[in-house]
Structure 1
């Protein structure tokens, strides 16, 4: 797949690319606003208790397919509901463990809910359930983790902006490259968070946890890497093709690097898709976030970042043309006055 030398006007369809991005972000916004509003936070961020039970070997063979897992989870959830547990989530991890998250924030609440979950799980297993582990996260710790996650993403984006500014500050152009890169990154973050909120409304497995934050930071780094490849080619072409229209140089730079970006991106996406299908529950959120984020980053690095540079260049040209027109108008107004002075002499 080689796009070099092809007659494809990517820059000419700039507003189409922006329109697609806006449409996807609006879909994510709708997902965010759907009740319950916002993201589905995991136990790491909202606090609660997590109970892990070992699934008996006699039942593990029946969990090889989705139907078997769904039947077991249905039995567990029925038992939890009968025990009065509201706001719980049960999932199968690695086909050998059953994990149940509950909203218990204190030790006494956790002990009470442990008794209820153990009874429900034992009924579903048909034998006495064995509790492998219990994890408890307080509300204060959850709020602190959420705050640190936001700070980490913001600091990461700002450091990337500074690095791009320094790297491309030739002829005073560092600011526009930094802004273009950050616009692409913000697009990826908004798309990923919005789509995660939307999917979480229909799939209770999808929640914001430590794996999601790790995936988000990875996506930010991966996306800017693609943008830098395009920026480097654009910088090289601007040095060797002076005098040519900026739009054409940008378009050619995109076509010269698009094969590399798409081939690399598709390879990663295929592997992530396989992991999503067969990787198990423990990495499900991380893999899904990576899949959505890498796809968004692949799009934004090609169709958004460079288009921001084109818009910036057009604005500069328009401002320069306006300045020239003002100077011409001033010169025209002064000429008759100068002629009158000469005649009076």
Structure 2
């Protein structure tokens, strides 16, 4: 019987993590991308309705303040970009409240990097190169394929998510046996269908770079028109063996548009009875000075899961939240 003081991963996983960090650092050093470090605690939290920040109290100049553990180092890294840092990356701890399960822990490790003057296509190539460096022992040479969100949805559910009405999404959910009542939340039904019928099938023959998400899922990405003239978010996600590994954006640099998105998020949070989050005014002030760039966040623990062929996150981390 295991003892409660023992880690959930073995020594091989500890060594594999150390080697993985070395490979990542060597990869970026060779490309002259600067490693940086930014604060884990911030005065502003994330407004995204689907993310919950971990709240922390601390004194600043004798005053007790509410701060938030980062869900991503994105905002602070963009302030560095706006100050002339050039290409940068960071390996850090991030936190998302009450996310636990086979592939989740509320504290996890993220690799995030930003490339000024890179297109999303450029970033895809670099991400593929990094995956080949990190996963060569398990897979040999990987040749990722590019697939749009719309076509992945159509292939599996015979439905165009960019045009589907709320009723069509509800009817499709019922047709495939997902009889949850999500009210009038169109995106929630889209996410439900995606998580049950699209995501689990992605990336088994080769890594999938899923592109051109619905514009409502733009978050901090630009929007554009796809080849069919439909508006989409300029972003991609990476999937291997049904596991979402990374999320990339052609970064939005319009502070006015971003403020509108923050305000819309908070309006939706209020509607759902969630806490209103303070907007990061430092980021909004920096954005007009930020160079055009693409950026990506990659889950290091999940990358290690894939490299080690593990099915549970706890097999590659030391102490999950329930025994931390």
Whether TM exceeds 0.5 here: the answer is no
Which of 1 and 2 has greater Rg?
A: 1
Shorter-chain TM-score bucket reads under 0.3
Higher strand residue share: 2
Normalization by structure 1: what TM-score? 0.23
